[in-house]
Amino acid sequence: MKTILVAGGAGYIGSHMVALLIEKGYDVVVVDDLCTGLWPALTGAAKVRGGDVKDRGFLDRVFSEFSIDGVINFAAFSLVGESVTAPLKYYDNNVGGAVSMLTAMKNHGVDKIVFSSTAATYGEPEKQPIEETDRTDPTNPYGASKLAIEGLLKWSDAAYGIKYAALRYFNAAGANTDVDIGEDHSPETHLIPIVLQCALGKRDHVGIYGDDYPTADGTCVRDYIHVRDLANAHLLALEYLDKGGQSGSFNLGSGDGFSVKEIIETARKVTGKAIPAVTEPRRAGDPSILIASNHKAGEVLGWKPERGLEEIITDAWNWHQGHPNGYGQ
């Protein structure tokens, strides 16, 4: 049985990754400082160690305690708006944490890492759908910190032979109702849970930030991917590296785009609720359209998203109904 270290495993995507690894028979070690993660999100037989990945002594103890075969690294701050006002915080945590993790891997002879990157590495795209070879020019420190880590991974591969898969997510959403885990952020900034909070009566309305974009209905278009499909991509990336696959970056998205209005309409259909929406001024820095080309992930990793928008929203709605206050209830 292989032992996989999941950093940030108590977070939204990390907890879904842990659940899948356990389901597939892996031995799982979770490290998380609970800065944004939540212990109730962890299910099953994972071994959990609380601590900060920037703490090299802590990581050294974890790598000494367990025989780690590979790492999946989700540990990061990820609020775009906050990153603009606190760039030092984001570079210190995200890049600093990655340096600490790669140092521990080098010192303990671990040579495979799947890294949680982001579509924010691209910035304002030059074309749609976005391909991995397109220009990377982040428009915020969050995206810039993730791109810096991708550079660090490239040079660590060249110097130390640490193979990596950097997975550039688009918009993760949904839940795993089989093991009763879902999305619980504070504050919540993601559209689908905000819409569902409105359906639950936790919010008065959903804000639509601009309806004058050059799209079919005037609202921003984004690519949504089910969190379970996302977790599966990480597993395939891990298996790819284990078989001797070469390092690289991969987009993870559905390849389809849905507007803000389409999300709200689909949520109304799924929930049977009115979900009032109010048009508000545009937010600075919101691109009109962001859609992934997932061709490379399909061709190289054998990955194909299996769940569409309605299933994403249905799974999320089922979880939020049972947890109207997140993991607090």
242 within a domain of the structure (yes/no): yes
C-alpha distances in angstroms, 182 versus 42, 79, 320? 11, 18, 8
Same structural domain for residues 248 and 261? no
Same structural domain for residues 219 and 317? yes
pLDDT band at 328 (very low <50, low <70, confident <90, very high): confident
Indicate if 142 belongs to the active site. yes
**Closest C-alpha among 35, 138, 152, 166 to residue 93:** 35
Q: Which CATH number belongs to the domain containing residue 201 in this structure?
A: 3.90.25.10
Same structural domain for residues 161 and 265? no
Q: 187-211, pLDDT tens digit by residue?
A: 788 899 999 999 999 999 999 999 9
CB 149 within 8 A of CB 121: no
**Torsion sign, CA atoms 136, 138, 141, 142:** negative
Q: What are phi and psi of 251, to 5 degrees?
A: -75, 140
- pLDDT reading at 48 higher than 80: yes
Same structural domain for residues 241 and 297? no
pLDDT at 39 (0 to 100):
65
Same structural domain for residues 244 and 95? yes
186 within a domain of the structure (yes/no): no
Same structural domain for residues 165 and 213? no
CB neighbourhood size of 176 (10 A)? 20
Same structural domain for residues 200 and 275? yes
CB neighbourhood size of 304 (10 A)? 14
Residue count of the chain: 329
Q: Which of 214, 234, 252 is the last residue of a domain?
A: 252
What is the arithmetic mean of pLDDT over 287-299?
A: 94
What is the arithmetic mean of pLDDT over 156-178?
A: 96
pLDDT at 1 (0 to 100):
61
Widest distance between CA atoms in the chain: 57
Same structural domain for residues 133 and 167? yes
Long-range contacts of 309-312 (CB under 8 A, 24+ apart): 309/224, 309/256, 309/258, 309/262, 309/263, 309/266, 310/266, 310/269, 310/270, 311/174, 311/226, 312/173, 312/174, 312/192, 312/224, 312/225, 312/226
Q: 11-30, pLDDT tens digit by residue?
A: 899 999 999 999 999 999 99
Beta-carbon contacts of 83 under 8 Å, excluding residues fewer than 6 positions away, are: 77, 89, 90, 140, 141, 142, 145
282 within a domain of the structure (yes/no): yes
Given 142, 164, 213, 224, the catalytic residue = 142
Domain range enclosing 153: 3-173+224-252
Range in 28-37, 146-155, 191-200, 240-249 the model is least confident about: 28-37
Q: Which CATH number belongs to the domain containing residue 246 in this structure?
A: 3.40.50.720
Looking at this protein, which amino acid is placed at residue 231?
Answer: A
181 within a domain of the structure (yes/no): no
Question: Hey, is 316 helix, strand or coil?
Answer: helix
Same structural domain for residues 106 and 155? yes
Same structural domain for residues 89 and 233? yes
Beta-carbon contacts of 7 under 8 Å, excluding residues fewer than 6 positions away, are: 14, 31, 32, 53, 71, 72, 73, 74, 75, 97, 101
pLDDT at 200 (0 to 100):
95
- pLDDT reading at 224 higher than 60: yes
Which of 81-90, 186-195, 282-291: highest mean pLDDT?
A: 81-90
Same structural domain for residues 81 and 147? yes
**Closest C-alpha among 47, 48, 49, 96 to residue 76:** 96
Rounded CA separation 32/44 (Å): 16
pLDDT at 180 (0 to 100):
87
CB 228 within 8 A of CB 20: yes
Rounded CA separation 306/301 (Å): 15
Could you give the number of structural domains in the chain? 2
pTM of the model: 0.95
CA 106 to chain centre: 25
312 within a domain of the structure (yes/no): yes
184 within a domain of the structure (yes/no): no
Which of 173-177, 186-190, 299-303: highest mean pLDDT?
A: 299-303
Same structural domain for residues 169 and 205? no
CB 179 within 8 A of CB 43: yes
CB 163 within 8 A of CB 249: no
Q: For all residues of the chain together, what is the average pLDDT?
A: 93
Partner residues linked to 221 by β-bridges: 259, 289
pLDDT band at 173 (very low <50, low <70, confident <90, very high): very high
User: Residue 133 gets which letter from DSSP?
Assistant: T
